[in-house]
Structure 1
Amino acid sequence: MKHTIKVILLIALGIFLLTRLLNGTLSFYIHPRFNVLTLLTAVGLIGLGIAYAIQQRRQAAHNHAHDETHDHDHEHEHVHSHDVTWAGLLLLAIPVVLGLLVEPRPLGASALQNREINIGNDVSLVSANAPEGSELSVIANAGERNILDWLYLFQRSPEPTAFDGQEAHVVGFVYRDDRFAETQFMVSRFTVSCCVADAAPIGLIVEWPDTAVLAPDSWVEVSGTVQARTFNGVQMPVLVAESITPTETPSQPYLYQ
Structure 2
Amino acid sequence: MKPSLSLRSHYLLRSLLIAALAAYIMHLNASNSLDYYLAPHMQTLLLLCPVPLLFIAFGMLWHAIAGASGEVCDCEHPLPSGLIKNISVYGLFTVPLLFGLLLPDQALGSDMAAKKGMIYTYPNPDVRRKTEERNAPAVSGMEKHVTNDDQTAAEDIALNERFVPKDIYSVEFAELAKRLYTLPVIRVEPDIFSETVGAMDMYKQHFQGKAITVQGFVFRDGHMNEDTFAVSRFLVMCCTADAVPFGVMVRAANASSFANDAWVQIDGTIQVATVDGKETLQIQAERIQPIEEPSSPYIFTNPDSVAEFDELYSNDIETKEEINQ
| 8 Å Cα contact 2:251/2:282 also seen in 1 | yes
Equivalent of 2:292 in 248, 253, 257 = 248
Question: TM-score, normalization: structure 2?
Answer: 0.64
Equivalent residue for 1:101? 102
Q: How many angstroms does 1:15 deviate by?
A: 0.3
Cα gap change, 1:189 to 1:94, in 2 (>3 Å): same
In the alignment, the residues of structure 2 paired with residue 115 and residue 131 of structure 1 have an alpha-carbon distance, to the nearest angstrom, of: 13
Equivalent residue for 2:233? 189
Equivalent residue for 2:316? none
Question: TM-score, normalization: structure 1?
Answer: 0.80
Equivalent residue for 2:217? 173
Equivalent residue for 2:58? 50
| 8 Å Cα contact 1:161/1:237 also seen in 2 | no
* Aligned positions of 1:127-142 closer than 5 A: 130-132=123-125, 134=128, 135=131, 138=176, 140=180, 141=183, 142=185
Equivalent position amino acid for 1:152 in 2: G
SS at match of 2:69: helix
The structure in which a higher percent of residues are helix is 2
Q: Is 78-87 or 5-14 further displaced after alignment? A: 78-87
| 8 Å Cα contact 1:13/1:96 also seen in 2 | yes
Cα gap change, 1:225 to 1:119, in 2 (>3 Å): same
In the alignment, the residues of structure 1 paired with residue 53 and residue 66 of structure 2 have an alpha-carbon distance, to the nearest angstrom, of: 20
In the alignment, the residues of structure 2 paired with residue 179 and residue 79 of structure 1 have an alpha-carbon distance, to the nearest angstrom, of: 61
Query: Is structure 2 residue 138 aligned with structure 1 residue 145?
Result: no
Equivalent residue for 1:4? 12
What's the CA shift string for 1:124-146, capped at 9, x where partnerless? xxxxxx51363456463452224
* Aligned positions of 1:36-115 closer than 5 A: 36-59=44-67, 75-78=68-71, 84-85=79-80, 86=86, 87-115=88-116
In the alignment, the residues of structure 2 paired with residue 48 and residue 78 of structure 1 have an alpha-carbon distance, to the nearest angstrom, of: 15
Cα gap change, 1:93 to 1:81, in 2 (>3 Å): farther
Equivalent of 1:34 in 38, 42, 45 = 42
| 8 Å Cα contact 1:184/1:205 also seen in 2 | yes
| 8 Å Cα contact 2:188/2:197 also seen in 1 | no
SS at match of 1:252: coil
| 8 Å Cα contact 1:3/1:84 also seen in 2 | no
Cα gap change, 1:58 to 1:253, in 2 (>3 Å): same
Moved over 6 A (4+): 80-83
Q: How many angstroms does 1:33 deviate by?
A: 0.7
Cα gap change, 1:232 to 1:181, in 2 (>3 Å): farther
| 8 Å Cα contact 2:11/2:63 also seen in 1 | no
In the alignment, the residues of structure 2 paired with residue 114 and residue 78 of structure 1 have an alpha-carbon distance, to the nearest angstrom, of: 47
SS at match of 1:10: helix
* Aligned positions of 1:151-166 closer than 5 A: 151-157=197-203, 160-166=204-210
In the alignment, the residues of structure 1 paired with residue 202 and residue 248 of structure 2 have an alpha-carbon distance, to the nearest angstrom, of: 16
Q: How many angstroms does 1:116 deviate by?
A: 3.2
| 8 Å Cα contact 1:219/1:248 also seen in 2 | yes
Q: How many angstroms does 1:81 deviate by?
A: 6.5
Cα gap change, 1:181 to 1:233, in 2 (>3 Å): farther
Over aligned residue pairs, what C-alpha RMSD do you find?
Answer: 2.5
Equivalent residue for 2:118? 117
Structure 2 unaligned runs (5+)?
1-8, 81-85, 132-171, 302-325
Q: How many angstroms does 1:163 deviate by?
A: 0.8
| 8 Å Cα contact 1:183/1:210 also seen in 2 | yes
Q: How many angstroms does 1:106 deviate by?
A: 1.5
Equivalent residue for 1:225? 269
